[in-house]
Amino acid sequence: MIFRPVKGEREASIPLNRARWPVATMARLLGVSTSGYYAWLVREPSRQSRSDAQLLTRIRTLHASSRGTYGAPRIHAQLAREGVHVGRKRVARLMRIADLRGASRRRWPHTTRQRARARRAPDLVRRHFNAEGPNILWVADATYIPTTEGFLYLAVVLDVFSRRIVGWAMSNHLYTELMLRALDMALQQRRHEGVILHTDQGSQYTSIAFGRRCREAGVQPSMGTAGDAYDNAMCESFFGTLE
């Protein structure tokens, strides 16, 4: 099942990530029209949103006065001492929207997990990300998109020659099924016999199911060095801009 933030939360997720990705791209991925997003921006705020804005102003002040060390629990406790009685979940939600974190490092999800005894494909690319035509070399990877409801995961397959995404899928999990859906889209849309598919050594790509799908489709798996972003630089570059 594909994860979507609820209406209103989707729009609120866009300003949170504007520094990383274009508005039009985020709107499309979250199922929001660009015009609908801008209409949401100028809509008269509700009583709840005005209350949230006032509370967030105080939260920002407390966070700044703690030199960025206070997380939601400590800010919630300080608000209670000041006589401001609000739920801790509400404080945490507003801090997520404002991208405020405490001193303890936030645990971001890992998109690459290796299996100790996984069968890894050879590196057929060796960082030479060049192709003389389409459907000769594809690269695949996954990333996460933070939203106010949690993390949304995006798996893609990119054609090296055209620099275009030929397959993609989104969900609220990082199981092999997500990567298979992205691969299936690419297989359905493009000629793929003999194409090289370069990935990292994540457990999803070294799984039996993913390897079987590649063999059935006549795709040649290729894998870079474990934990080295440069070995899948093209996907890393795409995720850096999401253009």
Q: Is the pTM of this model over 0.85?
A: no
Q: Which token pair is 16?
A: 């949170």
Closest CA to 126 of 194, 198, 207: 198
The average pLDDT across 175-198 equals: 93
- pLDDT classification of 216: cutoffs 50, 70, 90: very high
The CATH superfamily of 137-241 is Ribonuclease H-like superfamily/Ribonuclease H (3.30.420.10)
Closest CA to 169 of 159, 158, 157, 154: 154
How confident is the model at residue 35, as a pLDDT? 85
Q: Decide if pLDDT at 229 tops 60.
A: no
- pLDDT classification of 91: cutoffs 50, 70, 90: very high
How confident is the model at residue 1, as a pLDDT? 36
How confident is the model at residue 31, as a pLDDT? 78
Q: Which residues pair with 222 in a beta bridge?
A: 198
Q: Decide if pLDDT at 185 tops 90.
A: yes
Q: What is the pLDDT of residues 146-173, one digit of tens each?
A: 766 667 888 999 999 988 899 999 988 8
Q: Decide if pLDDT at 187 tops 90.
A: yes
- DSSP conformational letter for 232: G
Cβ neighbours around 86 below 10 Å, total: 16
Domain boundaries, the chain: 9-97, 137-241
Q: Decide if pLDDT at 236 tops 70.
A: no
What average pLDDT does the structure give for the chain? Answer: 80
